[in-house]
Amino acid sequence: MGLFWSACRPSALPPLPKVYDPHSNARADQAYVTHMALNVRVDFDNKQISGKATFDVVVSDKNTLMLTLDTRGLTIDSVKLDQESSMANYALDADIPNSDYASDSSAIQISSAQATMGQALRIFVAPTTKEVHVYYRTGHEADALQWLAPAQTEGQKKPFLFTQSQPNLARTWFPCQDSPGIRMTYEARVQVPPGLMAVMSAEGDTILHADGIYQFRMAHAIPSYLVALAVGDFGFRSLGPRSGVYAEHTMLARAAAEFTDVEAMIAAAEKLYGPYLWGRYDLIVLPPSFPYGGMENPMMTFATPTIIAGDRSLVSLVAHELAHSWSGNLVTNATWGDIWINEGFTTYFERRIDEAVFGRSFSEMEAHLGHQDMQAALKELGTESPLTKLRLDLNDLDPDAGHSGIIYDKGYHFLRFMEEQIGRDRWDAFLRKYFATFAFQSMTSERLMNYMRTELIRGDRALEEKLQLDQWILGTGLPSVCPVPQSDAFTKVEEEVKKWKSGVPAKQLLTSSWQTQQWMHFLRLLPENMKTAQLTSLDEAFNFTRSGNAEIQFEWFQHVITHKYTPAYARLEHYLTHIGRRKLVFPLYRKMASDPEMRIMAKRIYAVARRGYHPVTYGSIDEILLKK
């Protein structure tokens, strides 16, 4: 096949996992994809991606002779086999048609798709089939895609498009076997309007092409959720020999200044857990509607502009996304029920990078805030909730249902506990071997536990009992042996809070050297029953309402909502209409929705803000504001 770079295919893919994925129609036991070539056109006028996806396939079941791909809302125009000499017989979310395999006709019957599964595209193949070509178009409700008008961008002049495929939205913009346990290499030819630039989670150029045609290749096998595309009016600035940042031109200098520590982070990560295997590490700062803090697309981290604080205080998010280059992209959860293997390992790795680059004090503040987030998640879910397990049963749930502080910080605290019990040197050696042994493979909780028992416990019953693997991974709630991070910097904050509560004016508190994390801790410690005069004095002293730091504003606005502090309402509304990061806006809407008076305000703001949010964000908010 190989439209562009046939060399990008590996000689052999990693062993195919035999794991059932409840969130994919794919049947890798029958036939699976090893390589994809996209040849697509991006149409801003019609908000559509159209073209051809060509797949290299391995037919593993010579009796069934069927390749099943995930789609959701795609229009399938035609399917062809091998050198496109014959039309394929296929069905879209329907029973297998009763027609002869050799026929040139195709049968399409569209039934109502399940909410997240979409329509299975079942393609008849021959025992000797090597290539399958699918001509398709995206629909208007392709939830992976966010099309932004010029007014929704920083530059205000040209449109913007970005994708967000995790957990199972890749199927809304290209047909694929949309399971994290199935990997493929890919290449792409993308045509965009002249004057716009395109980047992907792959090797490509850093310059604007006058003809609007860009070519990419990803030589390593990755899951479909890591295929990513962004198109817009942005530029590139180098950060070091193997790193750089893309951003809209009006933000490029600020972004480059914020990310000056990236090369040091890469060096620290490699020293910890082995070589960075992806070549380059670049970032792109997306418009504010991006629904996450960051997305670990290989070679190209997608980042929210809310981390551009001007003082590099929020760049631990970059450490997190970089760490995913090992934990997540290199060794990947086999299903979304094992997402803690991605996020828990990455949170641990992130804080080890933070410690190496910024010092132990900084990483302990981050760990302490994470511990608070975990406790809040446990309180919200209930300690007996099955969603407080690390290994989740999501068979009847949306794959995003388990996305909470549990997978990040219970996972982190488990790995920190392992480090403390085993010793840092031995633990680090184990992790280096783990990443090397399972590179470009999928991982389940059961497989990981077996590996830990083989490599670490080695039949030592006393150590097995001490580590409590089953309780940590398969149990609800939190084991009593969970470590509690200690932060001297936070102790100083707590002393100042006590002084303020005793009547010391806010302006007299010793805060001049505080970092963002200390301010967040301070705001979290404030009482739930403050008077308006107290909020006014705090705001006058520290200018929380007009802070340029999105995380500090988030903590402050929760008090604004609780205490109905009207002087900050205008800035709260501005915040909610100019930021689309789900972590920062959803909790504020939820808090407002719990009060009848504030709920009216929330619905009024949301009526304006919703059109600027990504489906990942508005899907969550719709549940609390629009559905009865």
Q: Which two structure tokens, joined as six digits, stand for 425?
A: 């040197």
Burial class for 597, CB neighbours closer than 10 Å (0-12, 13-18, 19+): exposed
CB 313 within 8 A of CB 339: no
Mean pLDDT, rounded, of the chain = 93
* CATH classification of the domain holding 245: 3.30.2010.30
Q: What is the average per-residue pLDDT within 434-447? A: 97
Question: Does residue 596 register a pLDDT over 50?
Answer: yes
238 and 217 in one domain? no
359/418 same-domain check: yes
Catalytic residue among 32, 292, 408, 412: 408
> Does one domain contain both 84 and 54?
yes
32 in catalytic set: no
Closest CA to 319 of 249, 272, 375, 373: 272
Please report whether residue 72 resides in a domain: yes
Number of residues that this document lists for the chain = 628
Residue 202 shares a structural domain with residue 62: yes
Per-residue pLDDT reduced to its tens digit, 370-385: 999 999 999 999 999 9
Q: Would 553 be classed as within a structural domain?
A: yes
| CA 31 to chain centroid | 28
Tokens of 428: 């680090």
Give the pLDDT confidence score for residue 107 in this predicted structure: 39
Q: pLDDT-derived band of residue 97, with 50, 70 and 90 as boundaries?
A: very low
| CB-based contact 246:234 (threshold 8 Å) | yes
Q: Which of 450, 474, 498 is the endpoint of a domain? A: 474
Indicate the residue type of 299: M
Q: Are 269 and 354 found together in one domain?
A: no
Tokens read off for 592: 């407002």
Q: For 14, which DSSP code? A: P
Whether the link from the prior residue into 167 is cis, omega within 30° of 0, is yes
Strand order in the sheet with 90-92: 66-71, 119-124, 90-92
pLDDT(4) > 70 = no
Q: Looking at 175, 209, 231, which one is the last position of a domain?
A: 231
Question: Are residues 467 and 455 located together in one domain of the fold?
Answer: yes
Share of the chain above pLDDT 90, in %: 91
Q: Which amino acid makes up residue 345?
A: F
* Domains: count for the chain: 4
Annotated catalytic, 321?
yes
Query: Three-class SS of residue 34?
Result: strand
pLDDT for residue 393 is more than 60: yes
State whether 64 and 169 are in the same domain.
yes
**Domain range holding 139?**
17-95+114-231
Asked whether residue 560 is assigned to any structural domain, the reply reads: yes
CB within 8 A of 64, min separation 6: which ones? 27, 30, 31
Over the stretch 35-74, which tens digit does the pLDDT of each residue have?
Answer: 999 999 999 999 999 999 999 999 999 999 999 999 999 9
Domain match, 237 and 373 both: no
Phi, psi dihedrals of residue 214, rounded to the nearest 5°: -125, 145
Residue 6 has pLDDT above 70, yes or no: no
The arithmetic mean of pLDDT across residues 358-370, rounded, is: 98
Q: Are residues 266 and 350 in the same domain?
A: no
Contact at 8 Å (CB) between 611 and 622? no
Query: Domain check: are 538 and 609 in the same one?
Result: yes
**Residue from 154, 248, 321, 355 carrying the catalytic annotation:** 321
Which pLDDT value is given to residue 239? Answer: 98
Task: Tell me: pLDDT of 477 over 50.
Answer: yes
pLDDT mean over 570-574: 99
How confident is the model over 18-43, as a mean pLDDT?
Answer: 94
* pLDDT tens, position by position, 141-197: 899 999 999 999 999 999 999 999 999 999 999 999 999 999 999 999 999 999 999
Q: Quick one: CA torsion of 16, 204, 49, 104, rounded to 10 degrees?
A: -50
Kindly report, residue by residue over 498-527, the tens digit of the pLDDT: 999 999 999 999 999 999 999 999 999 999
Whole-model pTM? 0.93
